[in-house]
Amino acid sequence: MSTFDPHQKEQQLRQESASWDTSTSVPAEEGDIPVLNLADYFSTGDATALQSLANQLRTACEEVGFFSIIGHQIPAEQMTHTFVMVRRFHALPLDVKRSILMDRPDWPVGGMGYLPVNNRKLPARDKGNLNEAFIMKCDHELGFDDNQWPDEAALPGFRQEIEGYANKLEALGKRMMPIFATALEMPADFFDEAFQAPLYRLRMTHYPPLAQAERPADEYGIAPHVDTSFCTILAQDKPGLTIFSERRQRWIEAPLLENAFVVNAGELLRQWTNDRFLSTKHFANNNTGDTSRFSIPFFLNANSHYTMHCIPSCCRPDNPAKYPPISYAESQGVVQGE
């Protein structure tokens, strides 16, 4: 087992993603992206329903890396209204949005606020991503008041709506943990301690339209990458997500399902499972024509200082742990107490 160098890991991921050939993609076929219906389990807590979902999730995370969820009990009206508020935010004058710019010197916490078009962060790339985003985050130390928000007079009700949505997504992520645990042949409460005060980021992204003739081969809404999270729960208002199917060895254009989220395992879950679960390659493109696209990914992690040891069901004498015990903060190069 080698030591973990977060900076070396970032360079490795960037080099790998730069080598991927994304020139061709195909529409998804039935079964390419499994659909998990959470309704029965969430309504009853039935052990049989849990085991059935766990079996489906295991297959999805070992063979595909992505899956969709329905029956998640987040009202369609709330999802719709959240998208309305996100569109209103991005319609604000640029100077209003730039007043809460991410990583501005006079704000004490980094990684939250407004990212303008052609930003080179999240994921970090030499070429800018053709999107703009508003990002908020919380963990065991950071709450809603620590985030940057547009002035209430400029966008009435925005903060209240986004806080409510973030709370629902955090609760949804926690309710899914027994499914992940059971899929890994562990007790249903295995992840409870790790997710008592999880770190999460909510990203509200606007992809401006781009004429097809104007799109260079290396132009993306979000450049090809793998997520560094435990998992990501994505809402989108229009298609645009493309994933690499390990099963088919093709780039697959993910369909848009009504009132559904797309979920994917991230890099830390892959390491936590000793490479048993995939961390799937994906990217997003802008719509052609004159129509914008909006997406709201929720990046969920364990408590930032919780040390993740290889999950017992994922290692054995003939398959020892490949990665050292590590917390999310350590994986990002953050020292305890920062």
What does the pLDDT read at residue 209?
83
* Contact present, 75 and 271 (Cβ < 8 Å): no
What does the pLDDT read at residue 12?
73
Nearest Cα neighbor of 33 from 55, 59, 15, 54 is: 59
Residue 280 CA to residue 276 CA, distance in Å, equals: 12
Which three-class secondary structure string do you get for 190-224? CCCCCCCCCEEEEEEEEECCCCHHHCCCCCCCEEE
Strand arrangement of the beta sheet that strand 293-301 belongs to: 35-37, 66-70, 261-265, 231-236, 293-301, 199-207, 132-138, 113-115
Nearest Cα neighbor of 145 from 107, 171, 175 is: 107
Name the pLDDT band for 338 (thresholds 50, 70, 90): very low
What does the pLDDT read at residue 6?
58
Which of 10-19, 52-61, 180-189, 291-300 comes out lowest in average pLDDT?
10-19
Residue 222 CA to residue 295 CA, distance in Å, equals: 11
Percent of the chain surpassing pLDDT 90: 72
Which of 23-32, 97-106, 109-118, 212-221 comes out lowest in average pLDDT?
212-221
Characterize 71-106 residue by residue with b for buried, 16 or more Cβ atoms within 10 angstroms of its Cβ, and e for exposed: ebebeeeebeebbebbebbbebeeeebebbebeeee
Name the pLDDT band for 291 (thresholds 50, 70, 90): confident
Give the CATH number of domain 6-17+41-331.
Answer: 2.60.120.330
What does the pLDDT read at residue 330?
86
Q: What is the mean pLDDT of the chain?
A: 90
What does the pLDDT read at residue 212?
56
Sequence spans of domains, the chain: 6-17+41-331
